[in-house]
Structure 1
Amino acid sequence: MDGDGERIEATLALRRSGRGAVGRDRIRLLEELSRLGSIAAAAEAVGLSYKGAWEALNAVNNLLPRPVFAAQSGGRHGGGASLTAEGEALIRAFRLLEDRLERVADLLSAGSPGLDPPLLLSRIGLRTTAGNAIRGRIEALRPDGVNQAVTLRLNQTVTLTALVTADSAADLALTPGQEVTALIAASVVVLAPGPARPASSAANALPGRVARRDDGPVGSAVTIDLGEGKTLSALVTRAAAEELALAPGDPVWALVQAAHVVIAID
């Protein structure tokens, strides 16, 4: 117990080879998906909307080297889903480490000498409002004196270019081969339907297929499957989504200006 009689709770953020964090809520969602065999049922079990569950699962896939689940077609009330071997291994590793971390929390709650738990706990739990956090490996750095163009390899066929200042690149010590996270606001992603690459001044034209489209009264959230478990979310007006006739399975291009891509390191 701490000085106020409250127990300190440990929160685990699981990483693998420097990849982004996966927390308890997403692990529980994976567990329910494994148990129930349905994304809709798993979402209901953990108190998420169907859309929220998809976004959480896609976020896990984006931050890990291989997909953690496989879904079968059938829509909101049909089809099914199951965990891959990687998903099952992720759950086992997380729960094992969580058990060890709980023992550390017990020591902190007891007031171990030389530690300041409130200060320690206040510095964890970084979150971001960016709609997309996609893991990639730096493939090339191209300086022009003032800026650096950073090319990230997202999967075998898709790359993403970010434009950062030379000072920022130096501060982050960016180097080829380094794994980083690209943060992209969903509101800056422009969509162009069709199989042919559209003419555009955007540095990035990412090919994919519409995985989901969720319509609201004014706006639409569109999830684009980039392949190999990577997805990208876009927020467009409902009118634009209807005019473009965006539907699951349709080929689409995601256009993103290089200056709109933010690079984050671990």
Structure 2
Amino acid sequence: MEPNPNPRVLVIMPAWNEAEAVGNTVREVLTTNTRYDVLVVNDGSTDATAEEAAAAGATVLNLPFNLGVGGAMRAGFKYAQRLGYRQVIQVDSDGQHDPRSIDEVLAGLAHADISIGARFAERGDYKVTGPRKWAMQFLAKVISGLAKTRLTDVTSGFRAANERAVTQYLDHYPAEYLGDTIDSLVVAIRSGCKVTQVPVEMRPRQGGKPSHNPLKAAIYLGRSVFALLFALTRKPTKLTKPAVESVVA
């Protein structure tokens, strides 16, 4: 039996040891718009992430061990499909993604299958330097060519998808390092999904520890290039539904 189309929006939050921030983030999302449902995918946390998320009003999906963002998002997409959600959006549980920008990112789905909340699009003051900056610029240039539209922030996790994109993600959504952003986007584009971006402002983490440190930043460029090359070798999934038109942000 096919799920009935759900007019509500599913906000998926992958969370690993984010007890310090996840509760406030969930509450902020739920008070921003009454049509949002929040699913926190507890990715094998060893702290009180699940308890804090549930107390704040989220539905919590507990994974038995840490799978990484890619594995957590794949679980979230399966949940969305089974309950018939037409639109989903990934929001970081650490509070960096401003819930007030969710509707702006979702609006991009009127013209595309995937809408990215972009940090480097003439809005906000988010900055990166060194290898991470070089990697992001290189990746944005290459993937913009594939998508045939200007993209400035292809590693952003603040990303919305419609039913068509979710179907593609379920066939191919990698769990490798950087795969959840770079690999998934490249294969989606090659499968016929249209992509757009919406300028947003990012905030500092509201708690917990950042995922990037100097060592990770030093090797980011090499891993990013590897992830891109690997993505280009993957076999795309051919979608049968007609594509929507793409726009340039």
Q: Into which bin does the TM-score normalised by the smaller protein fall?
A: under 0.3
TM-score, reference length from structure 2 = 0.24
TM-score, reference length from structure 1 = 0.23
Query: Relative to total residues, which structure has the larger helix share, 1 or 2?
Result: 2
Query: Relative to total residues, which structure has the larger strand share, 1 or 2?
Result: 1
